[in-house]
């Protein structure tokens, strides 16, 4: 890498500013952190409830995303059909859609008087909004596109000729998928799953709109952080924020170079 | 001779139509030769069930694998057919052992039995010490052997080899070819070997099929093709000059212009071959008895590997290639653009019905 031209001073200054802009909030968080009372802040019952709820909801949302998203990614990657790009655009829309709008849309679809929710309630007595299922659904809605996008790329990257080789050796389509395609795509699929989970864990807008803010039921960590800041519980809010920062950093380390290549 | 394989294939790949009929007896090795893009690989893929047929029928040892007339189609995994792909396609995430055991496992063998059998096959291939390696750690020759062992593991009734030595250098090719012939000795099914290397095909195959632009232009034993090639490509493969013409007694009017005198009379459309060594070049009008004499311009001069002979390509009405000694080449000062007298004896010209 010798002989590279050094960027101009102006560019360098702006780039440094950008880095500072990213780092400053983190530094602010660390500087104000109540390090000595961190354990105590995290031990309070309501904080622990929120942490547990977040773990359950994000886990369930990730599971749901894998169950629904992997087949979708597979179809998008391997089975051309008319309107495929439209379907792909729809599947990735929640990545760009403001989460609050997503939550409102979920409410209109799955609410008690919603398009589908009405029928669900009438037929099975199932009510989704303002329940833990609502929180899981909201997180899935926002997080699944991350899995679909990365998994489609992962499936695409597997040379189809390996599947043909497997077929010619007596493996049916499912065995070929399970023993050849899946293992070859596994690292990228893992990265996509982690990315999806991280997004579900941090979900706020869609959840609060669709599922509300009920402690123990729909009040996940991000919602509680918001509530704590509103009500002056800064120490606890910072403690919880640090937990999420820690998770994010762990994800970043875990994915390292996959972060960009998988997307 | 009962035919183990009877296939009529009619399919399309891209813009190319491939229409070929392939027949072979048990234990027979049939070489499929043809230039790039002739449809060789498509033919193999169709036989393996990896490429759809438009029309046709594939019967292997009495079992109809595919028949477009009644819609019968056996999926690739249920055909007793194995493929060694051009790029081998060893599974990169599996060990050599698991690669070889893959087919056995897929076809229902228990894990332990499959691994034991795979070890035996690897031992027979001289690769038992590589069982735990990943494909990426193998040399080209080793990978080629593993691919062959993997394909033969399930005892296929039809073995398809697509340019199996394509990725090897000349030295490794010789070793691999010897290994292949050894391995195929115990294979009782049919083997189809796709290649564009005539030496390879002639050395390994019992019979050859020549495929050009999706069509079979000739099928026969290596000797038949050596003696009477039916296309320019086939003639090039065996190193003969090839001309199409119209016979009128002992005279052949050549399609491109000019005519040749032959020894045995033929009427109608004929194919003519002349061995390059039978084409004599001289600096002045030859005095001998040759019936075919003309002046031509040298187009190119290529020395052969030993450096004691040269192939001289001439231009003109009858563009023949002459093979001369390098001594003669120097004496005649043959170089591109030079004028020479070309002569061919009538008895050196083979003509046969087109």
For chain B, list the domains and their CATH numbers. Answer: 3-90+138-234 (3.40.50.300), 241-353 (2.40.50.100)
CB contact under 8 A, A171 and B102: yes
Residue in chain B closest to A162 (alpha carbons) equals B89
Q: Give the largest CA-CA distance in chain B.
A: 79
The pLDDT of residue A131: 93
pLDDT band with cut points at 50, 70 and 90 for residue A69 = very high
The pLDDT of residue A61: 97
Mean of pLDDT values over B67-81 = 95
Q: Which of A159, A161, A168 sits opposite B82 (nearest CB)?
A: A168
Q: What are phi and psi of B22, to 5 degrees?
A: -125, 130
Pairwise CA distance, residues A50 & A44, whole Å: 10
Residues of chain A contacting residue B92, judged by C-beta atoms under 8 Å apart: 184
Is the pLDDT at B324 greater than 80? The verdict is: yes
CB contact under 8 A, B50 and A184: no
Find residue B242's DSSP bridge partners: B273
Please tell me the distance in Å from B93's CA to the nearest CA on chain A: 7
pLDDT band with cut points at 50, 70 and 90 for residue B229 = very high
CB atoms within 10 A of CB B33: 27
Q: How distant is the alpha carbon of residue A250 from its chain centre?
A: 15
pLDDT band with cut points at 50, 70 and 90 for residue B113 = very high
Residues of chain A contacting residue B107, judged by C-beta atoms under 8 Å apart: 170
pLDDT band with cut points at 50, 70 and 90 for residue B59 = very high
- DSSP helix/strand/coil, A145: helix
Higher pLDDT, A260 or A131: A131
Per residue in B232-254, pLDDT tens?
999 988 889 998 899 988 889 88
Sheet holding B339-344, edge to edge: B280-282, B339-344, B292-303, B309-315, B321-325
Q: What are phi and psi of B34, to 5 degrees?
A: 175, 155
Is the pLDDT at B291 greater than 50? The verdict is: yes
The pLDDT of residue B183: 87
Is position A22 within any domain? no
Is the pLDDT at B194 greater than 70? The verdict is: yes
Q: Which of B78, B79, B91 sits opposite A180 (nearest CB)?
A: B91
CA dist B178 → A70, A258, B198, B200 (Å): 46, 45, 16, 11
Q: Where do we find the tokens 């809010």?
A: A237
Is position A28 within any domain? no
- Residue A6 is classified by DSSP as P
Pairwise CA distance, residues B58 & B66, whole Å: 5
pLDDT band with cut points at 50, 70 and 90 for residue A2 = low
The pLDDT of residue A256: 75
CB contact under 8 A, B77 and A168: yes
Model-level pTM? 0.82
Residue A163 burial by Cβ neighbours in a 10 Å radius (0-12, 13-18, 19+): buried
The pLDDT of residue A42: 86
The pLDDT of residue A179: 95
Residues of chain A contacting residue B87, judged by C-beta atoms under 8 Å apart: 161
Is the pLDDT at B120 greater than 80? The verdict is: yes
Burial call A135-149: b when 16+ CB within 10 Å, e when fewer: bbbbbbbbbbbbbbb
Please tell me the distance in Å from B157's CA to the nearest CA on chain A: 13
CB contact under 8 A, B77 and A172: yes
Mean of pLDDT values over A192-220 = 93
Please tell me the distance in Å from B48's CA to the nearest CA on chain A: 7
CB contact under 8 A, B93 and A161: no
Q: Which of B87, B89, B103 sits opposite A170 (nearest CB)?
A: B103
Q: Percentage of residues in chain A with pLDDT exceeding 70? A: 96
Mean of pLDDT values over A230-243 = 90
Higher pLDDT, A215 or A62: A62
The pLDDT of residue B305: 78
Residues of chain A contacting residue B151, judged by C-beta atoms under 8 Å apart: 169
The pLDDT of residue B90: 96
Residues of chain B contacting residue A167, judged by C-beta atoms under 8 Å apart: 49-50, 75-77
Residue in chain A closest to B109 (alpha carbons) equals A170
The parent domain of residue A236 ranges over 38-262
- DSSP helix/strand/coil, A34: coil
Residue in chain B closest to A165 (alpha carbons) equals B89
Is the pLDDT at B216 greater than 90? The verdict is: yes
Count the domains in chain A.
1
Mean of pLDDT values over B325-334 = 87
Q: Which of B50, B81, B150 sits opposite A164 (nearest CB)?
A: B50
Q: Which of A162, A168, A184 sits opposite B81 (nearest CB)?
A: A168
Q: Which of B50, B87, B91 sits opposite A168 (nearest CB)?
A: B50
The pLDDT of residue A101: 96
Find residue B314's DSSP bridge partners: B298
Q: Give the largest CA-CA distance in chain A.
A: 72
Q: Which of B49, B82, B91 sits opposite A162 (nearest CB)?
A: B91
Q: How distant is the alpha carbon of residue B274 from its chain centre?
A: 21
Residues of chain B contacting residue A162, judged by C-beta atoms under 8 Å apart: 89, 91
Q: Where do we find the tokens 């070890």?
A: B119
Q: Are strands B309-315 and B321-325 parallel, antiparallel or unpaired?
A: antiparallel
Per residue in B14-32, pLDDT tens?
889 999 999 999 999 999 9
Find residue B251's DSSP bridge partners: B248, B261
Q: Considering only CA atoms, give the Rg of chain B.
A: 24
The pLDDT of residue A257: 64
Per residue in A158-191, pLDDT tens?
999 999 999 999 999 999 999 999 999 999 999 9
Residues of chain B contacting residue A175, judged by C-beta atoms under 8 Å apart: 77, 106
Is position A21 within any domain? no
Pairwise CA distance, residues B315 & B337, whole Å: 9
pLDDT band with cut points at 50, 70 and 90 for residue A262 = very low
C-alpha torsion sign, points A163, A168, A169, A175: positive
CB contact under 8 A, A165 and B93: no
CB contact under 8 A, B48 and A166: no
Q: Where do we find the tokens 């750690």?
A: B137
Closest CA to B281 of B207, B342, B217: B342
Closest CA to A236 of A23, A52, A46: A46
Is position A211 within any domain? yes
CATH number, domain containing residue A60: 1.10.3720.10
Which residue, among B46, B81, B93, would best test binding to A if mutated, counting the most A CBs under 10 Å from its CB? B93
Average pLDDT, chain A: 91
Per residue in B299-318, pLDDT tens?
999 988 787 889 999 987 78
Pairwise CA distance, residues A242 & A222, whole Å: 11
Pairwise CA distance, residues B164 & B271, whole Å: 33
Is position A174 within any domain? yes
Q: Which of A161, A176, A183 sits opposite B85 (nearest CB)?
A: A161
Residue in chain A closest to B88 (alpha carbons) equals A165
Average pLDDT, chain B: 91
Is the pLDDT at A1 greater than 60? The verdict is: no
Q: CB pairs below 8 Å between A and B: how many?
A: 61
Per residue in A102-142, pLDDT tens?
999 999 999 888 889 888 888 888 889 999 999 999 999 99
Is position A9 within any domain? no
pLDDT band with cut points at 50, 70 and 90 for residue A263 = very low
Pairwise CA distance, residues A211 & A19, whole Å: 36
Q: Where do we find the tokens 């919602």?
A: A223
The pLDDT of residue B1: 53
Is position A19 within any domain? no
Please tell me the distance in Å from A163's CA to the nearest CA on chain B: 9
Residue A47 burial by Cβ neighbours in a 10 Å radius (0-12, 13-18, 19+): buried
Find residue B341's DSSP bridge partners: B282, B295
- DSSP helix/strand/coil, B214: coil
- DSSP helix/strand/coil, B30: strand
Q: Where do we find the tokens 């992962």?
A: A154
Q: Are strands B55-60 and B207-212 parallel, antiparallel or unpaired?
A: unpaired
Q: Which of B50, B82, B106 sits opposite A171 (nearest CB)?
A: B106
Q: B interface toward A at CB cutoff 8 Å? A: 48-50, 75-79, 81-83, 85, 87, 89, 91-93, 102-103, 106-107, 150-151, 154
Encoded tokens for B114: 């499959």
Closest CA to B250 of B221, B214, B279, B292: B292
User: Which segments of B275-320 are extended strands (E)?
Assistant: 280-282, 292-303, 309-315
Q: What is the helix (H) or strand (E) element at residue A234, kind and residue range?
A: helix A234-255
CA dihedral angle for residue B112, residue B115, residue B117, residue B122, rounded to 10 degrees: -160
Which residue, among A166, A168, A177, A183, would best test binding to B if mutated, counting the most B CBs under 10 Å from its CB? A168
Q: What is the helix (H) or strand (E) element at residue A23, kind and residue range?
A: helix A9-32
Is position A33 within any domain? no
The pLDDT of residue B168: 84
**Sequence-separated (6 or more) residues with CB below 8 Å from residue A243:** A42, A51, A221
Residue in chain A closest to B90 (alpha carbons) equals A162
Q: Percentage of residues in chain B with pLDDT exceeding 70? A: 100
């Amino acid at each position: 890498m010798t002989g590279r031209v050094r960027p101009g001073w102006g560019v360098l200054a702006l780039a440094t500013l950008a880095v500072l802009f990213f780092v400053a909030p983190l530094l602010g968080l660390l500087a104000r952190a109540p390090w000595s009372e961190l354990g105590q802040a995290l031990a309070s019952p309501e904080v622990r409830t929120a942490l547990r709820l977040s773990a359950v909801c994000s886990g369930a949302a990730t599971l749901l995303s894998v169950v629904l998203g992997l087949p979708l990614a597979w179809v998008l990657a391997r089975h051309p059909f008319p309107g495929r790009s439209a379907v792909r655009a729809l599947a990735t829309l929640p990545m760009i859609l403001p989460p609050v709008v997503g939550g409102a849309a979920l409410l209109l679809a799955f609410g008690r008087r919603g398009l589908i929710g009405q029928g669900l309630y009438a037929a099975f007595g199932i009510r989704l909004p303002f329940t833990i299922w609502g929180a899981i659904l909201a997180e899935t809605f926002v997080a699944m596109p991350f899995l679909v996008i990365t998994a489609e790329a992962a499936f695409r990257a597997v040379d189809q000729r390996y599947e043909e080789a497997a077929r010619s050796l007596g493996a049916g389509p499912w065995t070929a998928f399970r023993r050849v395609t899946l293992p070859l795509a596994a690292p990228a699929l893992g990265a996509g799953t982690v990315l999806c989970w991280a997004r579900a864990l941090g979900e706020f807008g869609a959840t609060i709109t669709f599922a509300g803010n009920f402690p123990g039921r729909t009040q996940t960590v991000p919602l509680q952080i918001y509530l704590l800041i509103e009500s002056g519980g800064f120490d606890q809010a910072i403690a919880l924020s640090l937990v999420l920062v820690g998770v994010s950093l762990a994800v970043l380390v875990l994915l390292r170079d996959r972060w960009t290549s998988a997307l | 001779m009962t035919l183990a394989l009877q296939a009529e294939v009619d399919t399309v790949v891209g813009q190319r139509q491939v229409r070929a009929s392939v027949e072979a007896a048990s234990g027979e090795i049939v070489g499929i030769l043809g230039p790039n893009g002739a449809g060789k690989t498509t033919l193999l893929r169709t036989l393996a069930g990896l490429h759809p047929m438009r029309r046709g029928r594939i019967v292997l040892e009495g079992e109809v694998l595919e028949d477009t007339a009644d819609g019968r189609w056996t999926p690739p995994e249920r055909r007793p057919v194995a493929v060694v792909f051009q790029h081998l396609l060893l599974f990169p995430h599996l060990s050599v052992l698991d690669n070889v055991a893959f087919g056995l496992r897929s076809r229902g063998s228990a894990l332990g039995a499959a691994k034991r059998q795979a070890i035996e096959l690897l031992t027979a291939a001289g690769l038992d010490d590589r069982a735990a390696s990943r494909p990426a750690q193998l040399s080209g020759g080793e990978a080629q052997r593993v691919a062959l062992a993997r394909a033969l593991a399930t005892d296929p009734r039809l073995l398809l080899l697509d340019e199996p030595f394509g990725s090897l250098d000349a030295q490794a090719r010789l070793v691999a070819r010897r290994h292949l012939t050894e391995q195929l000795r115990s294979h009782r099914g049919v083997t189809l070997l796709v290649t564009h290397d005539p030496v390879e095909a002639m050395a390994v195959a019992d019979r050859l099929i020549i495929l050009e632009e999706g069509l079979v232009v000739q099928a026969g034993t290596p000797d038949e093709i050596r003696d009477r090639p039916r296309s320019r490509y086939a003639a090039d493969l065996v190193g003969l000059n090839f001309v199409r013409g119209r016979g009128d007694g002992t005279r052949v009017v050549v399609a491109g212009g000019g005519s040749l005198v032959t020894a045995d009379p033929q009427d109608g459309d004929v194919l003519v071959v002349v061995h390059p060594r039978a084409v004599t070049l001289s600096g002045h009008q030859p005095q001998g008895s040759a019936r075919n004499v003309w002046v031509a311009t040298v187009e190119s001069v290529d020395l052969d590997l030993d450096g004691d002979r040269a192939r001289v390509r001439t231009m003109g009405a009858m563009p023949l290639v002459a093979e001369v000694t390098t001594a003669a080449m120097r004496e005649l000062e043959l170089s591109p653009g030079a004028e020479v007298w070309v002569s061919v004896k009538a008895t050196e010209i083979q003509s046969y019905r087109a």
